[in-house]
A = this chain, B = another copy of it.
Amino acid sequence: MIHPSVLADEFSQRWERIRKSMLQQGADAMLVTDNVNLYYVSGRVFSGYCYLPADREPLFFVRRPVGLDGDNIVYIRKPEEIGDYLREQGLPFPQTLMLENDSITHNEFLRYEAIFKPATIKNGTAVLRSVRSIKTPYEIGQIRRSGILHAEVYAKIPSLYKKGMTDLDLSVEIERESRLLGSLGIFRIFGQSMEIFMGSVIAGDNADNPSPYDFAMGGAGLDDSLPVGCNGTMLEERMSVMVDLGGNFTGYMTDMTRTFAIGDLQELAYKAHETSIEIQRSIAEAARPGVPAKDLYNMAIEIAQEAGLGDYFMGHRQKAGFIGHGIGIEINESPVLAPRSRDILAEGMVFALEPKFVIPETGAVGIENTFAVTADGIEKLTLCEEQILPLG
């Protein structure tokens, strides 16, 4: 088997859920090729393909690494050999094939089309993202483990600060603590347009520098080739310092943001931070299976506006169009908590909620936590002090 044998049921369950969605759309087989999806269906990243028929066990066609062993593993050098193998084994070719049309390149699509020559190709990306949005208890366990280590790192932040640091200096020390606790570092993002290193430390008015990326916070970054996050700002009195680094301690991530202050901040900043906590409290009370994600977005906007803070909510010069996002192997899974989201909360979903404010002359304030949707509510997986803590 390609996965650890103790996880046989776990993976059988994942395959079965994918097959069920495939059958609903009349697909005979799916070819899984991208690393994130391969990890989901096999428990490991490998170079190769998972061929999952709707009515049979999957086959794993592996290019690298050498040495994997199992009766569902076939070594190949190129994807054309998948077709050869099906022919040799007398296995049927799919009439309706699913491909990851939102992650494979156009040229890859053409190559797979030529191999399988199916009558119809449907979009497997949507199926995989939908199935992956409902985490198994094992997956939630992985996220919980990331969350515990993530919180352990954040608890050290006040002790990492030293007077005279820049935002980069502080970020580096937090990154170091993360890595020493086993952070894998890598930050997986669906889609090609978003890029980030391990996350962001944003201090003072750098929070109001708009970014090209669709993250909730901006920041000018250190270079035009990666214009997001810390920009070398010297940390000074009356600045807020927002720390939003990924918790990538397993193949599953947590997302968590905490705000720190150097000296005293203006009153508006504390008020906005309290409003962030209030938004989280209200959403935590309302969120449960069956609740539309957009209702949670609207609830957040309403609370921010009632507090007179609408101008600062989710950015100032440039605003993010969401207040939360599904998270798992990637930072941007389903559901999305946005005004036009059609996602409905369901048990097993995991999302990050990040009601944040950008206050001119102070910086960003607010919190972010990762929650799992339970049978009758949501459970916080990132447990760490939420008040603004002083640095220095």
Q: Which residues does A use to contact B, with CB under 8 Å?
A: 34-35, 39, 43-48, 63-67, 99, 101-109, 123, 125, 168-169, 171-173, 175-176, 179-180, 182, 184-186, 188, 192-193, 195-198, 209-214, 218, 221-227, 250-251, 317-318, 329
> Out of B48, B125, B184, B317, which one reaches A222, CB within 8 Å?
B184
Given contacts A46-B212, A65-B210, list 4 more A-B pairs with CB under 8 A: A106-B109, A171-B179, A175-B176, A184-B225
Chain B residues near A107 (CB-CB < 8 A):
101-102, 123, 125
CB-contact partner of A250 in B169, B173, B223, under 8 A: B223
Contact of A182 among B43, B66, B197, B222 (CB under 8 A): B222
Q: When chains A and B are docked, how far (Å) is the Cα of A329 from the Cα of B223?
A: 13
Q: Which of B48, B192, B197, B214 contacts A186 (CB 8 A)?
A: B197
A35, B47: Cα distance in complex, Å: 24
**Complex: A360 Cα to B70 Cα, angstroms:** 26
Q: Tell me whether A169 and B180 are in contact in the complex, defined as CB-CB below 8 angstroms, given that A104-B106, A250-B223 are known contacts.
A: yes
Give every chain B residue within 8 A of A106 (Cβ-Cβ): 99, 101-102, 104-106, 108-109
What are the residues of chain B within 8 A of A250 when measuring CB–CB?
223, 225
Contact B105 A44 (CB under 8 A): no
- Listed A/B pairs (16) with beta-carbon separation below 8 Å: A43-B224, A44-B212, A63-B212, A64-B210, A65-B218, A66-B317, A102-B106, A103-B105, A105-B106, A106-B109, A172-B176, A175-B176, A184-B221, A186-B195, A186-B196, A224-B251
When chains A and B are docked, how far (Å) is the Cα of A73 from the Cα of B107? Answer: 30
Task: Give the residues in chain B near A35, CB-CB below 8 Å.
Answer: 192-193, 195
B105 touches A47 (CB 8 A): no
Residue of B nearest to A209 (CB): B65
Among candidates B103, B123, B176, B318, residue contacting A176 with C-beta atoms closer than 8 Å: B176
> Which residues from B are CB-within-8-Å of A251?
223-226
A102, A123, A225 interface centre (most CB from chain B within 10 Å):
A225
